[in-house]
């Protein structure tokens, strides 16, 4: 009896290893796959029958007998017929959850290497043109056209050129890179090999965050097994070391070079002076993994799906407090509300959805009144947000949005590389300002501190006052006078204005997206949920709370 059990890290976290062992002990042939991508049915087992693969889930190791005789109540039937899967357009994730991830035979049998074979019959320029025609844009978040990036590298003078895959998927609420690397690693390898053929690359690096031990293991194994198929191109996995900022492409390059992961000023573009100062293609996992389909099925087939200038599919990740969380690959243009309510099924807690954060820690918080937004780069940018890596984190009505705004600043302070001032210092000042707002807001009265007793951490020390300094003396004196803690206007209005000014400075003054985008969650929380900051709902966005319910 053939039994398929996922070995995806999320499935294992839910107990898939014990389930697999129980079936093996019962004499079944157990094949470990990636995850199908719906976590409410994990651990999922699929049994091979005359009618195809029949799924049961969630199941535990104690369910072996009931699954084998078909009497288990969690019988799902054919998994790809479930409504969660039937509506998807799986271009990139077609094989994920279906095949043994590191079996070359399985990969080849399911259209693997077709894209690379096609690319090898084409000139490099023709491959780059195909990627351009497909309309593929950087799936890491910035949405820059992939074909243009490749063209720049192709046109760069010959010499060593590198293909770098950014697999430092640090955004909370995203796991598509991890799932693909664990569930279909050859797809990424094939995409990178096509990129190498297109631009003349000789060596590739996959930079994977250390928080993804399963992905690191699977990719290394897959690289070893497929080395002969992509030669003379060579690939190597580099393991990150817990720095979120290394997801920024230039910080990532510095990290591979063995340096602190600090952001480089651009220009020069990495396409011209990237890794080790050489022309470098640096793309996200999902961008590179979309390429085999484009070459195998044709650029037009990919571009035929989508919305506006966002072509093709996006593997959307439904996360947080959501009932049916998981990976949903679909053409651009589906609305946020369809994703959260119809596909995600609302919250896991059963309470009303109050906010969703789209695009990770640097993405905006949207209330349900914005659920009409189509999932597309331009629509989200126009609404003051970003789709980022397409993670959607759902929150129910117990969320305190001032706390989430504070967390955004706290996270930026913890992860800032320290190179530019708005990000390094602004994030810490931002935490302090939100703290003052939270202390001054009317509820809950039990935790409300005495107004005069608000003390400033650290930064306040210098203003304590040396008696020999006369506050009104000269320019410095005046500056110190105005910054004296006793004179800071800690009213909510004043602090909110200060927070908006700070966000403005960070947004336009930071070197990279970490400092530059941290204002998105903060400002969107302020704009859409002013009541959490002690203000009356703003007329522009009222009445939000009611709309949410």
Rounded to the nearest whole angstrom, what is the least distance from the CB of residue 196 to other proteins in the complex?
Answer: 19
> Structure tokens of 131?
């990627």
Rounded to the nearest whole angstrom, what is the least distance from the CB of residue 394 to other proteins in the complex?
Answer: 6
Choose between 151 and 416: whose C-beta lies nearer to other proteins.
416
Choose between 142 and 414: whose C-beta lies nearer to other proteins.
414
Q: What is the DSSP letter of 74?
A: T
Is residue 464 a contact partner of residue 449, using CB atoms and an 8 Å limit? Answer: no
> Structure tokens of 426?
């602004």
Choose between 135 and 430: whose C-beta lies nearer to other proteins.
430
How would you write 528-547 as a 3-class SS string?
Answer: HCHHHHCCCCCCCCCCHHHH
Rounded to the nearest whole angstrom, what is the least distance from the CB of residue 121 to other proteins in the complex?
Answer: 35
Query: Could you count the other beta carbons within 10 Å of the beta carbon of residue 445?
Result: 6
Choose between 10 and 480: whose C-beta lies nearer to other proteins.
10
- 53-62 LR contacts (CB < 8 Å, sep 24+): 53/4, 53/78, 53/79, 54/78, 55/79, 55/82, 58/14, 59/19, 60/15, 60/18, 60/19, 61/15, 61/18, 61/19, 61/21, 61/22, 62/22
Choose between 293 and 324: whose C-beta lies nearer to other proteins.
324
Choose between 52 and 418: whose C-beta lies nearer to other proteins.
418
Q: Which residues bind other proteins (CB under 8 A)?
A: 9-10, 12-14, 39-40, 42, 169-175, 177-178, 210-214, 238-244, 255-262, 276, 317-322, 325-326, 348, 357, 360-361, 391, 393-396, 399, 404, 407, 411, 414-415, 417
Helix (H, G, I), strand (E, B) or coil at 210: coil
Choose between 112 and 360: whose C-beta lies nearer to other proteins.
360
Rounded to the nearest whole angstrom, what is the least distance from the CB of residue 38 to other proteins in the complex?
Answer: 9
Choose between 119 and 420: whose C-beta lies nearer to other proteins.
420
Rounded to the nearest whole angstrom, what is the least distance from the CB of residue 340 to other proteins in the complex?
Answer: 12
Is residue 182 a contact partner of residue 214, using CB atoms and an 8 Å limit? Answer: yes
Rounded to the nearest whole angstrom, what is the least distance from the CB of residue 528 to other proteins in the complex?
Answer: 16
Residue position matching structure tokens 């969703």: 356
Rounded to the nearest whole angstrom, what is the least distance from the CB of residue 172 to other proteins in the complex?
Answer: 3
How would you write 476-513 as a 3-class SS string?
Answer: HHHHHHHHCHHHCCCCHHHHHHHHHHHHHHHHHHCCCH
Q: What's the start-to-end Cα distance of the chain, in Å?
A: 49
Choose between 407 and 471: whose C-beta lies nearer to other proteins.
407
Burial (0-12, 13-18, 19+ Cβ within 10 Å), 503: buried
What's the Cα-to-Cα distance from 307 to each of 279, 283, 376, 437, rounded to whole Å? 32, 22, 7, 40
Choose between 48 and 211: whose C-beta lies nearer to other proteins.
211
Rounded to the nearest whole angstrom, what is the least distance from the CB of residue 416 to other proteins in the complex?
Answer: 11
C-alpha–C-alpha distance, residues 541 and 529, integer Å: 9
- 249-255 LR contacts (CB < 8 Å, sep 24+): 249/140, 249/166, 249/282, 250/512, 251/417, 251/512, 252/164, 252/166, 252/168, 252/207, 252/282, 253/164, 253/280, 253/282, 255/207
Rounded to the nearest whole angstrom, what is the least distance from the CB of residue 419 to other proteins in the complex?
Answer: 11
Rounded to the nearest whole angstrom, what is the least distance from the CB of residue 176 to other proteins in the complex?
Answer: 9
Choose between 90 and 311: whose C-beta lies nearer to other proteins.
90
Rounded to the nearest whole angstrom, what is the least distance from the CB of residue 231 to other proteins in the complex?
Answer: 21
């Amino acid at each position: 009896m053939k039994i398929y059990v996922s070995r995806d890290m999320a499935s294992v976290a839910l107990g898939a290893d014990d389930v697999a062992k129980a079936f093996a002990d019962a004499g079944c042939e157990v094949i470990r796959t990636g995850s199908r991508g719906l976590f409410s049915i994990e651990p999922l087992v699929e049994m091979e029958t005359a009618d195809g693969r029949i799924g049961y889930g969630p199941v535990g190791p104690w369910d072996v007998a009931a699954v084998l005789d078909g009497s288990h109540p969690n019988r799902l039937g054919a998994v790809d017929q479930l409504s969660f899967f039937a509506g998807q357009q799986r271009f990139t994730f077609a094989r994920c959850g279906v095949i043994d991830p590191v079996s070359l035979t399985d990969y080849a049998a399911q259209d693997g290497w077709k894209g690379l074979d096609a690319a090898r019959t084409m000139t490099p320029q023709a491959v780059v043109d195909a990627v351009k025609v497909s309309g593929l844009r950087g799936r890491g978040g910035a949405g820059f056209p992939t074909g243009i990036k490749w063209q720049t590298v192709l046109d760069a003078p010959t010499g060593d050129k590198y293909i770098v895959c950014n697999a430092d998927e640090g955004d909370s609420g995203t796991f598509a890179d991890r799932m693909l690397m664990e569930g279909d690693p050859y797809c990424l390898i094939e995409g990178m090999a096509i990129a190498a053929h297109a631009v003349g690359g000789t060596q590739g690096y996959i930079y994977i965050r250390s928080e993804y031990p399963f992905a690191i293991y699977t990719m290394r194994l897959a690289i070893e097994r497929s080395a002969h198929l992509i030669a003379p191109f060579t690939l190597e996995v580099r393991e990150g070391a817990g720095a979120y900022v290394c997801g920024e492409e230039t910080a990532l390059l510095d990290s591979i070079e063995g340096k602190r992961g600090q952001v480089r000023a651009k220009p020069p573009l990495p396409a011209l002076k990237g890794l080790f100062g050489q022309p470098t293609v640096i793309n996200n996992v999902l961008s590179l993994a979309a390429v085999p389909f484009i070459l195998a099925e044709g650029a037009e087939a990919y571009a035929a799906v989508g919305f506006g200038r966002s072509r093709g599919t996006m593997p959307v990740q439904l996360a947080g407090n959501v009932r049916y969380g998981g990976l949903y690959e679909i053409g651009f243009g589906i609305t946020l509300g369809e994703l959260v309510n119809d596909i995600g099924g609302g919250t896991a807690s059963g309470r009303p959805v109050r906010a969703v954060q789209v695009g990770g820690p640097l993405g905006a918080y949207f209330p349900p009144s914005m659920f009409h937004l189509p999932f597309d780069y331009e629509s989200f940018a126009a609404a003051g947000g970003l789709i980022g890596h397409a993670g959607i984190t759902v929150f129910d009505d117990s969320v305190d949005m001032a706390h989430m705004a504070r967390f955004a600043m706290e996270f930026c302070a913890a992860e800032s590389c320290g190179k530019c001032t708005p990000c390094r210092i602004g994030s810490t000042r931002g935490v302090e300002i939100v703290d003052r707002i939270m202390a001054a807001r009317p509820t809950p009265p039990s935790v409300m501190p005495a107004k005069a007793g608000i003390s400033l951490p650290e930064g306040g020390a210098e203003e304590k006052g040396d008696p020999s300094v006369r506050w009104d003396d000269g320019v410095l004196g005046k500056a110190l006078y105005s910054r004296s803690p006793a004179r800071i206007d800690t009213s909510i209005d004043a602090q909110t204005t200060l927070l908006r000014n700070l966000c403005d400075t960070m947004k336009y003054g930071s070197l990279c997206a970490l400092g530059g985008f941290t204002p998105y969650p903060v400002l969107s929380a302020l704009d859409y949920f002013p009541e959490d900051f002690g203000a009356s709902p703003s007329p522009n966005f009222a009445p939000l709370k009611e709309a949410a319910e």
